[in-house]
Structure 1
Amino acid sequence: MSASHTLAPISAGPAPETRTARLSSLWERSQTLLPTLTALLLLFAMLIYAEVAYGRVFHSGTMSSLLVSFAPTMILAVGMTIVIVSGGIDLSVGAVVAVSSVAGVMAMNTGVNGWLSIVLMIAAGATFGLIAGVMIQVFAVQPFIATLAMMFLARGLASILSTTPVMAPENSPILLLATDWKIIDGPKVNDFTITPGLLIAVLVIVAAVFFLHRTRMGRTVYAIGGSEASARLMGLPVARTRVWIYIISGALAGLAGVVYTAEVGGKAQNVTGIGWELDAIAAVVIGGTLLTGGVGYVWGSIIGVFVLAALRLIITKDGTINPEYLTIITGAVLLVFVLLQRALTRRKQT
């Protein structure tokens, strides 16, 4: 009598279609990361060139100085990333920095509590963002036009408040944000120091990464940028999210005004922030965020900020290059990355 044996089915591994889909997904993801990786390679190349040509670049003092001085730009770039990922634009952030700075310092000089003044500076920026968001969502105004109007309004209000620099009181708490914290005690003046303002910028970056990738509203931001119609069909809160996007951008512009005012010793003036919105947009695009929306990374935008910082470092250390060329070089780099984005987008569509 023979016993019958049943053989367990042998797994043949994932189906070819599954492997193909995974490889296709990996390839598409690598394409979206290509501009960011290119920016990272460009950053390292520029820093290495500066070290070889001029020296004292990879020094604690130089690195900490760059980080501290570009903290406001990092904060602006975070807000601009959220806006551009949603398919919008915000041209008002530079002017909002100016008006929030001037208004906040003047409030301190009239006896308003220093900490309350700082909160009011951030709230002022959020108010400009709220107005822009309502114009865009409720009245269907194009983001370019709505934020351009806010830019002129904010810059005009800053000039009405004061056409001459105003100084914060000597005991103002805003000055504490520029306190040097020595992290590495280097030889001579080669110390690595940070400030509370830089720490605020780092916290904003971390919070923005969590917001965009770990919250429902953050995923809605990507969905709006990818396809607003699809986002609506999925039942996502498009209207509310779009208004919040501009409120966040405005609030971060006000916060950047706080950090910058502290960095320059409490001085505020109506001409602060001219062109900063363009720096923020350039950093975001160089970092790999698509101007059409739907794709972008906060960390990529921070790499873009460092690319701009490295450009400025090279021009400063060289000494023979006209500072006005910084704008031309930035424009050329931005053009290259826009063309790279365009090529990748066309390849993806085909």
Structure 2
Amino acid sequence: MTVSDTRPASEGAGSTAPAPPPAWQTWLRASTTGSRTFSVLVTAVLLVVLFGAGSVRYENFGTPQVVLNLFVDNAHLIVLAVGMTFVILTGGIDLSAGAVVALSTVMAARMLEAGWSAPLTVLAVLATGALLGWAMGAAVHHLQLQPFIVTLAGMFLARGLCFVISVPSIPIRDPAFTSLATNFVELPGGTFLTYSVFIALTVLIAAMWVLHRTRFGRTVYAVGGNENSAALMGLAVSRTKVGVYVISGTCSALAGLLFSLYMLSGYSLHGIGMELDAIAAVVIGGTLLTGGAGYVFGSLLGVLVLGTIQALISFDGGLSSWWTRITIGVLLLAFVVVQRLSTRSAGSSG
């Protein structure tokens, strides 16, 4: 008997080797799922390219203050995106964030107008956001309801409460709020940052520490990766799923307070569509909509990308502001498609 006679039938002369995968599939498999930092790097490159293009095309676009203004004008959105990142990492969504922002501005303005002290007002607003987040998280987990439906109901509830409290805009004249809003920290070169930026960056750093240095953060990733497996491993799935909505609600309330500093008013129509901006920033920042992978730092980069697009259109002057939405929509679709292709490539390679 020869060696060739001992080969399995599947290895006979008529068998053919499987065709190699397309080059793009091989590249995605090696680049994205092999390194969770890939999407963040893509977002960072996109940010540099956009800002570089603006610096070349428009005079004074590349000045340090324009860079800092991306943080000044989007401090509230940074905080909102941080909370949204926690929810999306578990595979959920929070459509109530923008409405909670509006509710927070209206509550703060009305309480200050009624004579409440600034610290007590801040605590009441944050507690309200946390309570709404807890209620939505409990409904999602314990009642096994879809996050989309639960947070949609939360959005209508929060927006409705805004109009119950006040229909017209309420100006904020409290000395503590106006002082925080009008004062700023001077930096070298004649540049400046507002106190809201330092609050937002503090929240961002705290979120990074929680997600990457605590058991709760590791559980967030595990639940997003596979909730059943996380439960079998003995992880606190229930507490984590409810907890991320509490974090999102609290961040939404804090974002509302920062937005009230930015606008110095409380208004029922504040924050319309802001939850979509936060979701777009998180996805553009590389967090998977299906959960289990992503970085909160990527969400910061996503916010800066959105801010840079807005700045480019503002500097141009001839373009309608709606081009901001169009550009964000195209970017969001592109990132979702890349995420889908990368996860499909990972599945085929496994």
- What TM-score do the two structures reach when normalised by structure 1? 0.88
Does residue 269 (structure 1) correspond to residue 260 (structure 2)? The answer is no
1:5 paired residue number: none
2:39 paired residue number: 35
Task: Look up the equivalent residue of 1:255 and give its one-letter code.
Answer: L
1:53 paired residue number: 57
The count of corresponding residues between Structure 1 and Structure 2 is 319
Give, in whole Å, the separation in 2 of the partners of 1:208 and 1:116: 24
Indicate how the Cα distance of structure 1 residues 302 and 227 shifts in structure 2: closer, same or farther if over 3 A, else same.
Answer: same
Give, in whole Å, the separation in 2 of the partners of 1:131 and 1:293: 21
SS across alignment from 1:32: coil
2:231 paired residue number: 232
Alignment match of 1:169 (pick from 150, 162, 173): 173
Alignment match of 1:81 (pick from 75, 85, 94): 85
In the TM superposition, what is the alpha-carbon distance from 1:27 to its structure 2 partner?
6.1
1:109 paired residue number: 113
Task: Look up the equivalent residue of 1:345 and give its one-letter code.
Answer: T
1:259 paired residue number: 258
2:221 paired residue number: 222
1:91 paired residue number: 95
In the TM superposition, what is the alpha-carbon distance from 1:30 to its structure 2 partner?
4.3
Task: Look up the equivalent residue of 2:227 and give its one-letter code.
Answer: E
In the TM superposition, what is the alpha-carbon distance from 1:26 to its structure 2 partner?
8.6
SS across alignment from 1:89: coil
Does residue 347 (structure 1) correspond to residue 350 (structure 2)? The answer is no
SS across alignment from 1:57: coil
Task: Look up the equivalent residue of 1:310 and give its one-letter code.
Answer: T
In the TM superposition, what is the alpha-carbon distance from 1:329 to its structure 2 partner?
1.0
Alignment match of 1:180 (pick from 175, 179, 184): 184
Task: Look up the equivalent residue of 1:245 and give its one-letter code.
Answer: V
Contact 1:177 1:259 (8 Å CA) reproduced? no
Give, in whole Å, the separation in 1 of the partners of 2:120 and 2:149: 32
Superposed CA deviations along residues 68-113 of structure 1, whole A, max 9, x for unmatched, are 1100000011001110001100000000000111011101111111
SS across alignment from 2:290: coil
In the TM superposition, what is the alpha-carbon distance from 1:31 to its structure 2 partner?
4.1
SS across alignment from 2:186: strand
Give, in whole Å, the separation in 2 of the partners of 1:313 and 1:28: 30
Give, in whole Å, the separation in 1 of the partners of 2:204 and 2:178: 22
1:310 paired residue number: 308
Superposed CA deviations along residues 32-52 of structure 1, whole A, max 9, x for unmatched, are 322221111111111011011
Structure 1 segment 134-145 matched on structure 2, within 5 A: 134-145=138-149
Does residue 119 (structure 1) correspond to residue 119 (structure 2)? The answer is no
In the TM superposition, what is the alpha-carbon distance from 1:59 to its structure 2 partner?
1.2
Q: Output the aligned Cα RMSD.
A: 1.4
1:17 paired residue number: none
Structure 1 segment 140-151 matched on structure 2, within 5 A: 140-151=144-155
Give, in whole Å, the separation in 2 of the partners of 1:235 and 1:176: 49
Task: Look up the equivalent residue of 2:274 and give its one-letter code.
Answer: W
Contact 1:31 1:344 (8 Å CA) reproduced? no
- What TM-score do the two structures reach when normalised by structure 2? 0.88
Contact 2:91 2:292 (8 Å CA) reproduced? yes
Superposed CA deviations along residues 169-188 of structure 1, whole A, max 9, x for unmatched, are 342x223332211012x3xx
Give, in whole Å, the separation in 2 of the partners of 1:72 and 1:182: 20
Contact 1:217 1:241 (8 Å CA) reproduced? yes
In the TM superposition, what is the alpha-carbon distance from 1:343 to its structure 2 partner?
0.9
Give, in whole Å, the separation in 2 of the partners of 1:315 and 1:327: 11
SS across alignment from 1:56: coil
Gaps of 5+ in 1: 1-24
Task: Look up the equivalent residue of 2:300 and give its one-letter code.
Answer: I
1:278 paired residue number: 276
Give, in whole Å, the separation in 1 of the partners of 2:295 and 2:179: 31
In the TM superposition, what is the alpha-carbon distance from 1:28 to its structure 2 partner?
6.3
SS across alignment from 1:101: helix
Alignment match of 1:331 (pick from 307, 329, 343): 329
Task: Look up the equivalent residue of 1:218 and give its one-letter code.
Answer: G
In the TM superposition, what is the alpha-carbon distance from 1:251 to its structure 2 partner?
0.3
Does residue 152 (structure 1) correspond to residue 156 (structure 2)? The answer is yes
SS across alignment from 2:167: coil
Superposed CA deviations along residues 149-198 of structure 1, whole A, max 9, x for unmatched, are 00000001101211111012342x223332211012x3xxxx32112211
Task: Look up the equivalent residue of 1:167 and give its one-letter code.
Answer: P
SS across alignment from 1:285: helix
SS across alignment from 2:37: helix
Give, in whole Å, the separation in 2 of the partners of 1:249 and 1:29: 27
Give, in whole Å, the separation in 2 of the partners of 1:60 and 1:27: 33
Contact 1:102 1:166 (8 Å CA) reproduced? yes
